[in-house]
Amino acid sequence: MTTTTAAPTRRLNTSKAMAEAIAQEMRANPEVLYLGEDVGSYGGIFGSTGGLLEEFGPTRVIDTPISETAFIGLGIGAAVEGMRPIVELMFADFMGVCLDQIYNHMAKIHFESGGNVKVPMVLTTAVGGGYSDGAQHSQCLWGTFAHLPGMKVVVPSNPADAKGLMASAIRDDDPVVFMFHKGVMGLPWMAKNPRSIGVVPEGEYLVPIGKAAVAREGTDVTVVTLSLSVHHALDVAEKLAQDGISVEVIDLRTVVPLDRAAILASVGKTGRLVVVDEDYQSFGLSGEIVTTVVESDPGLLKAPPKRITMADAPIPYAHVLEYAVLPRQERIEAGIREVLA
Amino acid sequence: MTEPTGASATLDSPTTLTQQDRLALYEQMVLIRTYELAIQREYHADKGPGFDIGKGLIPGEMHLAAGQEPVAVGVCAHLTGDDAVTATHRPHHFAIAHGVDLDAMTAEIFGRETGLGKGRGGHMHLFDPAVHFSCSGIIAEGYPPALGQAFAFQRRGTDRIAVAATGEGAANQGAFHESLNLAALWKLPVVFVVEDNAWGISVPRSASTAIPSNADRAAAYGIPGVRVEDNDVEAVHAAAAEMVQRARSGGGPSLLEVSTLRMLGHFEGDAQGYRPELADVAEHDPIPRYEAALVADGVLDDAAKQRIAAAASERVEAAISHAKDSPLPDPAEATRYAFAKEA
C-alpha cells in the first residue's frame, strides 16, 4: 500500500524524511518512542532524530547511557509489553557489543513463544563507508543481520523510501532493523550524493516492507543493489545509456524478506545479472541473489553473473585504499561491460 | 532495608507472616521440589542405554532448581500476575512460584503443540504472557528485557514491577552491570535477584568472583543491596518485601542476593566430580529444615504434611500426563512463528 497526498515539489534529505515519519507515528501513537545514544538534543549523530526532542520532549526521545546491551534489551522488554520503541544502535559495527540481545532475544522471542509474544520494535542503525572512518565504523553488515532469522531488515536508498519504510517498520509487529547509509542521509558534513535529497510525500506515506523497486528500467542487463550503491548504479546506467547500453537497476529496499520475484522478473527480461553490494562478498547478500536466480532457472542467464562488492577484508582508512575496495562507479561500469562482452 | 554499606548484610527483620502464609510458602516449595524430581524421573526414564541427551520424551539439556526453592518462593510471594519475572536457564522454580500455567509449561518441556511455545521454545525458553514470565538460556541476558518491562509499567503509571533473576556467575557479565546502572539511573521498578548457588557450572564462586557478596555491587550504582545468607524462605520473603515495596512505590531498583543451594548437577547427567562438598548437600536441603521449623511452631503436623505432599504429587502427575497425552507439533510447521505474519 502506498498512500500519497503529496505536494510534489517538496524536497527533503533522507535524515529529515526519516525523522518526519517518526514524528508522524509518534503523534499518532503514544506508545512510539525513540531511544539511544545522542538522539536527544544532538538529534542523532547522523540526523536521524532531528527536531524530535523539541516536539516530544525527553520522556519520548530519550538519551541513554552508552550501554547498548541494556538499552536494546530495554527496548525488547518494552515491546513485549506492547510499546513500540525505536532504538538506535549508533553504528551497525557496534552490533557485537549487544548482539545477544539482538539475535537471541529480539529476533527469537516470537518464535520461542510459539507466536504468543510479539516484539514490535525498530532497531535503527547507521551503515556504510566512504568517508575514511576506518574498519570499525564503515561496515554495512546487513548480510549478517539478514542471516540471523526473526528480524526484518530494511535498507532505504532515498528520502521517500526512508520515510515510507520507517512508517511501515514502526507499525510492523515484528522486530525491524532499519539500516540507513550515512552516504544517503544528505548530511551537510559529508560528500553529498545528489539523490540524497528528493521529493518526499507529505502526510501518511507507507512503503511496504518486502517490495523491491525498479529504480531505472532497462533491457540489456539487470543491476541488483541497495542503499548508496543504487545511486552509483544509476550514475553508471546514465553514462552507459550514451553508449546505447540499457541498464535496469533494481533497488531491493528490503533484505528480509527479499523480493525474489522482482529479481527473477528483471533477470528474466534482461538475461544478465550484476549484483552490487557494499557488504562483504563471501557468504553474503550477493551470493544469495545469484543463488536465487540459479536455483530458479540457470537458463535465465545469457552470461555468467558478476558481483561487485566490498572485498573480504577490513575496510581501510586511507582514502585511496578505501575507494579501491568500495563498489563505486568505475568497478560497476567494468562489471556491466564484462557481462555484456 | 540495609542501604549500601560496602558490607554484606543478613536480614533478620521480624516476620509478619501468618500461619497461613507460612504454610503457603511451604506448599509452594514442596510443589516445586515435587515437580523437579518428577521431571528428573521423566528425563532419565528413556535416555539409556548409557546416556543420550537427545533421546527420550524430554530431549536436550535439563537444568533443575532443587534446593533453590526459597529464592523463587520468597520473592514471588510478593508478586501478582501483573508483575513480570525474567528467569534464567534454570527457570522452573520461578515459573511455578510466579504462577505460570503448569500444564502448558510441562507440555513445552515435553516439546508438545500444547506447550507454552508450541514446542518451539523448550525448557530454557519459556514464555507465559498471561503472567509476564520469560526466561533466557544465556547468562545475565534476561536482565535487560526486564528493564523494558519495568519501563513500560512505569511509563503507564502503574505500580507493577519486574523481577529479574540471574545466578552468581552472571553477575560478572556486562549485561548485569549495564542493567543495574540504567535501572538505577531511571529509577525503574526492578528487583534484581542473584541466586548464589556457589557454582557456575563447574567453576566455584571463589574462582569467578573477587568479592564475597554481589549485593555489595549495588553500592556502585547507588541502590540498596542485601545478601541473605541462609537460603531461608522467610528471610528471603522479608528482604524481598522491602525491595518490592520500594519498587512499587517509585523508589527504584534494588539488588537481592541469596546464598542458595544447587542440590543437583548443573544439568542432568552432570556427575559433579568437581564438587567436593557433594556428600553434605542433603544436610543443607532447605525444605526439611523449614518443615521442622513449622512442625516445631505447631503450624504443620504429619497429616498436613501428607496432604500437601499428595496434592503436589497429584498436580504434578496431572501436568505430566497432560504433556504426554498432548500431540507433537507438525514437522511441516517447524519454521512457523519466525515472524508475526507468515510470508
- Domains of chain B, CATH where assigned: 19-326 (3.40.50.970)
Q: What is the pLDDT, as a whole number, of residue B14? A: 45
Residue A2 counted as domain residue: no
Mutant choice from B178, B180, B185 vs A, greatest count of A C-beta within 10 A: B178
Residue A4 counted as domain residue: no
Distances (CA, A) of B247 to A53, A95, B252, B323: 28, 31, 5, 37
pLDDT tens-digit series, residues A133-164: 999 999 999 999 999 999 999 999 999 999 99
Any catalytic annotation for residue A137? Answer: yes
Name the domain boundary from A132, A164, A199: A199
Element (H, E) at B200: strand B199-200
CB atoms within 10 A of CB B158: 13
CB contact under 8 A, A113 and B178: no
Q: A230 and A178: one domain?
A: no
The CA distance from B343 to B341, in Å, is: 6
Beta strands A247-251 and A213-216 are antiparallel
> Please, what is the average pLDDT of chain B?
94
**CB of A234 closer than 8 Å to CB of A226:** no
Q: In the structure grid, which three cell numbers stand for residue B26, read together?
A: 511451604
CB contact under 8 A, A70 and B181: yes
Closest-approach residue (CA) in chain B for A258: B343
Q: A89 and A158: one domain?
A: yes
Determine the distance in angstroms separating the CA of A179 from the nearest CA of chain B, rounded to an integer: 19
Mutant choice from B153, B173, B339, B341 vs A, greatest count of A C-beta within 10 A: B339
Name the domain boundary from A132, A165, A199: A199
Q: What is the pLDDT, as a whole number, of residue B48? A: 84
Residue A129 is part of a domain; what is its CATH number? 3.40.50.970
Q: What is the pLDDT, as a whole number, of residue A1? A: 54
Q: What is the pLDDT, as a whole number, of residue B12? A: 40
Window B:184-203, CB contacts with A under 8 Å: 185
CB atoms within 10 A of CB B144: 32
pLDDT tens-digit series, residues B127-168: 999 999 999 999 999 999 999 999 999 999 999 999 999 999
CB contact under 8 A, B340 and A174: yes
Q: What is the pLDDT, as a whole number, of residue B4? A: 39
Residue A252 counted as domain residue: yes
Q: What's the average model confidence in pLDDT over B90-119? A: 98
For a pLDDT cut of 70, what percent of chain A falls above it? 98
Window B:279-338, CB contacts with A under 8 Å: 336-338
The CA distance from B136 to A113, in Å, is: 12
Q: In the structure grid, which three cell numbers stand for residue A55, read together?
A: 516536539
Q: A74 and A223: one domain?
A: no
Nearest to B146 by CA among A321, A255, A69: A69
Q: A104 and A233: one domain?
A: no
Report residues of chain A scoring pLDDT below 50: none
Residue A126 counted as domain residue: yes
Nearest to A305 by CA among A329, A280, A270: A270
CB contact under 8 A, B125 and A112: yes
**CB of A216 closer than 8 Å to CB of A237:** yes
CB contact under 8 A, A115 and B125: no
Eight-state DSSP code of residue B215:
G
Residues of B in contact with A78 (CB under 8 A): 148-149, 151-152, 155
> Which residues span the domain enclosing A322?
213-340
Q: A22 and A142: one domain?
A: yes
CB contact under 8 A, B120 and A114: yes
Beta strands A32-36 and A197-199 are unpaired
Q: A230 and A183: one domain?
A: no
**The amino acid at B180:** L
Q: A190 and A218: one domain?
A: no
By residue count, chain A amounts to 341
The CA distance from B88 to B135, in Å, is: 5
Distances (CA, A) of B272 to A341, B268, B317: 68, 10, 28
Q: What's the average model confidence in pLDDT over B7-25? A: 69
Q: Check whether B120 has a pLDDT greater than 70.
A: yes
Nearest to A158 by CA among A116, A86, A95, A207: A207
Q: A318 and A218: one domain?
A: yes
Q: A155 and A86: one domain?
A: yes
Determine the distance in angstroms separating the CA of B340 from the nearest CA of chain A, rounded to an integer: 6
| Rg of chain A over all Cα atoms, to the nearest angstrom | 19
The CA distance from B315 to B294, in Å, is: 23
CB contact under 8 A, B141 and A104: yes
Name the domain boundary from A199, A229, A258: A199
CB atoms within 10 A of CB B66: 22
Which of A70, A108, A150 is facing B175, going by the closest CB pair? A70
> Please, what is the average pLDDT of chain A?
95
**CB of B108 closer than 8 Å to CB of B133:** no
Partner A contacted by B67 (CB < 8 A): no
Determine the distance in angstroms separating the CA of B120 from the nearest CA of chain A, rounded to an integer: 5
User: C-alpha A178: how far from its chain's center?
Assistant: 6
The CA distance from B31 to B313, in Å, is: 8
Q: Give residue B5's pLDDT band: very low, low, confident or very high (50, 70, 90).
A: very low
Helix, coil or strand: residue A75: helix
Q: What is the pLDDT, as a whole number, of residue B1? A: 43
Residue B168 Rama label (left phi>0; alpha psi -120 to 50; beta) = alpha
Q: What is the pLDDT, as a whole number, of residue A4? A: 57
Residue A132 counted as domain residue: yes
Alpha helices by DSSP H, listed for A125-227, are 142-147, 159-171
CB atoms within 10 A of CB A68: 26
Residue B122 Rama label (left phi>0; alpha psi -120 to 50; beta) = left
Helix, coil or strand: residue A339: helix
**CB of A259 closer than 8 Å to CB of A212:** yes
Eight-state DSSP code of residue B3:
P
Q: A136 and A174: one domain?
A: yes
Partner B contacted by A58 (CB < 8 A): no
Residues of A in contact with B134 (CB under 8 A): 80, 109, 117
**The amino acid at B147:** L
Q: What is the pLDDT, as a whole number, of residue A313? A: 96
Determine the distance in angstroms separating the CA of A70 from the nearest CA of chain B, rounded to an integer: 5
Q: A21 and A160: one domain?
A: yes
CB contact under 8 A, A77 and B162: yes
| Rg of chain B over all Cα atoms, to the nearest angstrom | 20
**In DSSP terms, which residues pair with B196 in a beta bridge?**
B259
Q: Give residue B9's pLDDT band: very low, low, confident or very high (50, 70, 90).
A: very low
Q: Is the dihedral of CA A298, A299, A304, A310 positive or negative?
A: negative
The total number of structural domains in chain A stands at 2
Q: Check whether B342 has a pLDDT greater than 80.
A: no
Closest-approach residue (CA) in chain A for B130: A116
Which of B127, B151, B152 is facing A113, going by the closest CB pair? B127
Q: A154 and A105: one domain?
A: yes
Residue A299 is part of a domain; what is its CATH number? 3.40.50.920
The CA distance from A256 to A142, in Å, is: 10
User: C-alpha A270: how far from its chain's center?
Assistant: 25
Q: What is the pLDDT, as a whole number, of residue B343? A: 53
The torsion of the CA quartet B115, B118, B123, B129, rounded to 10 degrees, works out to -80
Nearest to B111 by CA among B59, B164, B185, B188: B59
CB contact under 8 A, B178 and A69: yes
The CA distance from A32 to A25, in Å, is: 7
Cell 510443589, residue? B31
Which of B120, B134, B145 is facing A111, going by the closest CB pair? B120
- The secondary structure of B127-173 as a DSSP string is EEGGGTEEE-SSTTTTHHHHHHHHHHHHHTT----EEEEEEGGGGGS
Which of A105, A112, A174 is facing B145, going by the closest CB pair? A105
The CA distance from B78 to B28, in Å, is: 13
The CA distance from A30 to A72, in Å, is: 19
How crowded is the C-beta side of A72, counted as CA atoms within 13 Å?
30
A137, A181, A231, A232: the catalytic one is A137
Closest-approach residue (CA) in chain A for B144: A73
CB contact under 8 A, B182 and A75: no
**CB of A285 closer than 8 Å to CB of A302:** no
CB contact under 8 A, B144 and A72: yes
Sequence-distant (≥ 6) Cβ neighbours of residue A96 within 8 angstroms:
none
pLDDT tens-digit series, residues B34-75: 999 999 999 999 998 888 999 999 999 999 999 999 999 999
Nearest to B170 by CA among B147, B145, B136: B136
Eight-state DSSP code of residue B15:
P
Partner A contacted by B182 (CB < 8 A): yes
CB contact under 8 A, B127 and A105: no
Closest-approach residue (CA) in chain B for A83: B152
Sort B206 into a burial class: Cβ within 10 Å, 0-12 / 13-18 / 19+. exposed
Determine the distance in angstroms separating the CA of B181 from the nearest CA of chain A, rounded to an integer: 9
Which of B136, B153, B178 is facing A70, going by the closest CB pair? B178
